[in-house]
Amino acid sequence: MKTPGLYYQTPDGRTIQITGSDIWVIEAHQDKTFGFKRYVDGLLHESHALMKRKRAAIAASAIIQGYQPPRALLRCDKPAG
């Protein structure tokens, strides 16, 4: 029997209990796209559109460092420096 609380079911059917007040869940899909969801106090607070691997790597890096994932990625107009 499961303990009370919020659970997340992965695309492959596994169930994970979500604990803590601010949790990010990264979903890896078979089509090589990634989804990002943020739960605050057990409730879904934000959900981001599926991203391809390169953009997801940047989003994950921002989250790990305590920042929000960027809304859009823009190419540089000219070289830095």
Residue 49 CB-half CA count within 13 A: 5
- The CA-based angle 74-68-45, given to 5 degrees, is 125
User: Which residue ranges make up each domain of the chain?
Assistant: 6-64
Confidence of residue 23 (pLDDT cuts 50, 70, 90): confident
Cβ neighbours, 10 Å, residue 22: 9
Q: What pTM, to 2 d.p., does this model score?
A: 0.70
Give the model confidence (pLDDT) of 36-53 as tens digits: 999 887 788 999 999 999
Rg of the chain over all Cα atoms, to the nearest angstrom: 15
81's CB contacts (< 8 A; 6+ apart) are: none
Residue 59 is predicted with a pLDDT of 95
